[in-house]
Amino acid sequence: MTAEDWRMPEARRFTLLFYVFLGFFCFVLTEILPPMQSPDEPEHVKRAWFLTQGVILLEHPQGNLSGGPIDSGLSDYMVFSKQWNQRPDLRLTQRDIATFESFRWSHQNVFSVAAGTGYYFPLIYLPQAVGLWTGRTLDLSIDKSYRLARGLATVSVILITLSAFALYTPNGLVLALLAMPMTLFQSSSASLDGMATAVTLLALSAFMRIMREKEAASLRLFWIMCVSIVLVCTCRTHALPMLLLPFVAWFSLRRRNLLSAAVIVTILSVAWTMVAMKTTAYSETYGHISTDHRLLNYVLHPGVVAGYVIRTLCDSSTRNFYFVSFVGDLGWLDTPLSAHAYKVLGILLVVAFALALPRKFLRQRIMEQGVLVIMMVGALILTFLALLLSWTPAGSPIIVGVQGRYLLIPALFLAYALTDTEKKGHVIGGMLPAIAILLFSVHQMLPTILFRYYIAP
């Protein structure tokens, strides 16, 4: 690599160092946060546990929603953790902590519903599954097993992200998005968000490296990208536009055998999505109207979907919720930051966006930038469509269930599209808002979490 290379060593080292500090803070949070305090985290832990039992497709016995077999001790542990959900007036006491530590594995399974997780191909839960399986095998307490699972998930997120940035140096906007309180919080939990974000970054970085090196690109990059895309697309429906990347890479590399790989990646991702939609029982809101029938109706009548989206975005309270839950509403969306924090972080995000804008038009990058923008638009549409299908009650005038954190992947698509690392000064200068966001996020999150869960007002 020469000094003229647009992914300069100095910028890469700076980026990796930044993320090491970010990852260290996430790892610290895994010890501070009480169990199961991320949105829907118990359901994700159940999905990881099902993987240890060899369950790929969830069961739905007659009269039940989709779920699977779970150790009754782990189920009791989850039930105990629920008392703090949406109860910002409650604090953990020494007695509560002792109770958490007292739960043991019963080695007897009971059926448990895992709401909303039937769509996720469970391989992405491997770090959490390894932690839970190891804890049970070694007869650790359930609390220690859970914390091992959460720690392994966070370490995996850190290592995968560092690998992504070693392949390709992102701009400051990517780092700013990763430094937002909500992203840090989710990366410190045992839920799906951290792993899904890290694997998305790996796929995008491999793609950008391929597009930079063209015919000189290693086939290893293509396979890393393909595997990452399958993992993300089979657990995040709104990430399905990423299926464009293998085809664009094939077109760029001009290698015939890569087209077959791109087709296989598409078939695997779409097939899993369709099977999961067909076999997952998640809601009785629509009575006997199946998901695929409703999906067909919306495809044939796109104006209906557009009307839902417009009415949703025109609702001021909904827009405010999207912004707050994108920047950071911690816990079960019951632990907001201070009022001025959203203003500061919002301004810093705008600055990061402005500094990420390319300084000049590069004709040779039009293909990669165009496909990334198309992916962003497609991901936004699929985000609203997915929640319209799976979570919005019949008769609701707006789409229900969309949270700001769901918009992180589309935002990363845009951030990668804006990448302009022609000059070292532009790379490092663009990271200054990200540094400010990380420092401010840490400054806000620590007291917010401590006062929410441990310190009485």
Collect all residues with Cβ–Cβ distance below 8 Å to 139 and sequence separation of at least 6.
105
Strand-pair category, 335-336 with 329-330? antiparallel
Nearest to 273 by CA among 239, 247, 304: 239
Banded model confidence at residue 427, pLDDT cuts 50, 70, 90: low
pLDDT digits (tens, 9 = 90+) for 432-449: 999 999 999 999 999 999
Under DSSP, the state recorded for 451 is H
Collect all residues with Cβ–Cβ distance below 8 Å to 170 and sequence separation of at least 6.
15, 201, 205, 415, 416, 419
Three-state DSSP class for 423?
Answer: coil
Q: Which domain holds residue 441?
A: 9-281+288-453
Torsion of CA 140, 142, 148, 153, to 10 degrees: 150
As for how many domains the chain has, the answer is 1
Rounded percentage of the chain residues whose pLDDT exceeds 70: 92
| Residue in the block written with tokens 């301004």 | 347
Cα–Cα dist 193/45, whole Å? 12
Buried b (16+ CB within 10 A) or exposed e, 425-452: ebbbebbebbbbbbebbbebbeebbeeb
For residue 177, being part of any structural domain is answered with yes
DSSP code per residue over 431-450:
THHHHHHHHHHHHHHHHHHH
pLDDT digits (tens, 9 = 90+) for 221-265: 999 999 999 999 999 999 999 999 999 999 988 787 899 999 999
DSSP code per residue over 217-250:
S-HHHHHHHHHHHHHHHTT-GGGGGGGHHHHHHH
pLDDT greater at residue 2 or residue 379: 379
pLDDT of residue 287 exceeding 80, the answer is no
For residue 2, being part of any structural domain is answered with no
Banded model confidence at residue 362, pLDDT cuts 50, 70, 90: low
| Residue in the block written with tokens 């808002």 | 433
For residue 312, being part of any structural domain is answered with yes
Q: Is the dihedral of CA 37, 159, 126, 123 positive or negative?
A: positive
pLDDT computed for residue 366 by the predictor: 85
Query: 129: how many CB neighbours lie within 10 A of its CB?
Result: 23
Q: Phi/psi of residue 336, each to 5°? A: -70, 160
pLDDT digits (tens, 9 = 90+) for 161-179: 999 999 999 999 999 999 9
Under DSSP, the state recorded for 140 is -
* Side chain identity at residue 242, one-letter code: M
Cα–Cα dist 137/254, whole Å? 49
pLDDT digits (tens, 9 = 90+) for 387-422: 998 788 878 999 999 999 999 999 999 999 987 654
Cα–Cα dist 437/216, whole Å? 37
For residue 326, being part of any structural domain is answered with yes
For residue 440, being part of any structural domain is answered with yes
Q: Which of 164-178, 278-292, 347-361 has the highest mean pLDDT?
A: 164-178
Contact 382, 119 (CB under 8 A): no
Strand-pair category, 67-71 with 335-336? unpaired
Cα–Cα dist 431/353, whole Å? 11
DSSP code per residue over 163-219:
HHHHH----HHHHHHHTSHHHHHHHTSSSSHHHHHHHHHHHHHHHHHHHHHGGGS-H
Nearest to 186 by CA among 338, 333, 339: 333
Cα–Cα dist 164/142, whole Å? 33
Cα–Cα dist 96/99, whole Å? 5
Nearest to 149 by CA among 235, 47, 59: 47
Rounded percentage of the chain residues whose pLDDT exceeds 90: 75
pLDDT computed for residue 1 by the predictor: 36
Indicate the average pLDDT of the chain: 91
For residue 217, being part of any structural domain is answered with yes
pLDDT computed for residue 282 by the predictor: 63
Three-state DSSP class for 84?
Answer: helix
Please, what is the Cα angle at 219 between 215 and 225, to 5 degrees? 110
Residue 399 CB-density burial (10 A; 0-12 exposed, 13-18 middle, 19+ buried): buried
Query: 22: how many CB neighbours lie within 10 A of its CB?
Result: 22
Mean pLDDT, range 305-309, rounded to an integer = 93
Banded model confidence at residue 3, pLDDT cuts 50, 70, 90: very low
